[in-house]
Amino acid sequence: MTISEEKILNALRTVIDPDLKRDVVSLGFIKDLKIEGGRVSFNLELTTPACPLKAQLKTAAEEAVKMVEGVTEAHVEVTSNVSAHRIQGGEEMLPAVKNIVAIASGKGGVGKSTISVSLSVALARSGAKVGLLDTDIYGPSIPIMMGVTERPEIKGEKLIPIIKYGVSLMSIGFLIAEDTPLIWRGPMVMKAVEQLLTDVEWGELDYLLVDLPPGTGDVQLTLAQKVPLSGTVIVTTPQDVALLDVVRGIAMFNKLNVPVLGVIENMSFFLCPHCGERTDIFSHGGGEAAAKKLGVPFLGEVPIDLKIRAGGDAGRPILVDDPESPQSKVFIRIGEQLAARISSL
């Protein structure tokens, strides 16, 4: 019996991507379809290597094809091709960067840089090309948290990012001495942020995460108005004072027409390493409640954990030192949720 391409594609139309709510054929995921007797093979090209459901989709596609009469073998290779999502119009500053995502917080002290570092490493480990830009001009912490002490090279008129743990990095902290305070007014800060974006040879990236300083000031406005962002992620802690700042932060990005990709609740709870008892030090669940109230996705909660803190201080994120730990898997899941959210834009 001859197996037609039409029969295979019709079978695959029953496989639905749960995030995008469409079948894999209409989404254009099926590539290089080959039929050789009873053997069918093709690539399932997803929109991100960090797709949380890639194993499920692969299995569903194989089973759907095997249901076609005459098929004796189905071979599915999962690949990815991250789509570009640039929301704002205007000048294309970084044409080789597919998605620029701002990591923001309404106030300081919520662990935003820890989240930025962990998400960048998680996405890089999924197979994505990832960059991380530290725009906290007055208090750059990415060099310490990623364990970088060297200065970036200069080729021509461009700075070359430092690559660590698979992530392309740039920070004002790479360019100044640790004990040198920056006493800059707003225009100087905004110019520095622009230069860190445009005077760096970022190359081709699937995701460039931008670690913003806390608040809703000059850097946030510069980035939102001049850079074609895919969206922003808001980091908070559970207590009420932090959640009030979430509302302000989301309101600012809404006014600037920047999509809010989701909310992450950091320092969500503490699990005693000895007895396993859970303590909600800063209350719990406020981030998810705020996200629901404001109509934005909740990406996940990160516990208070000594290993996460120690990794940041030592310049070795927990995903590097202990990638199979429960703490690392939290960041992997959040990275998958973020990638899925970007894909669905």
Alpha helices (H) along 13-151: 54-66, 112-125, 142-145
Same domain, 236 and 274: yes
**Alpha-carbon distance 124 to 49, whole Å?**
9
The tokens of 211 are what? 């670690």
- Domain membership of residue 88 (yes or no) is no
pTM of the model: 0.88
Contact 343, 335 (CB under 8 A): no
What's the pLDDT tens digit per position in 90-134? 456 788 999 999 999 877 788 899 999 999 999 999 999 999 999
Q: How many domains does the chain have?
A: 2
Same domain, 282 and 133: yes
Higher pLDDT, 247 or 7: 7
Residue type for position 86 = R
Same domain, 22 and 158: no
What's the pLDDT tens digit per position in 145-165? 999 989 999 998 899 999 999
pLDDT at 239: 77
Same domain, 29 and 173: no
Same domain, 30 and 106: no
- Domain membership of residue 50 (yes or no) is yes
Same domain, 114 and 75: no
What is the domain extent for residue 44? 5-80
CB atoms within 10 A of CB 199: 12
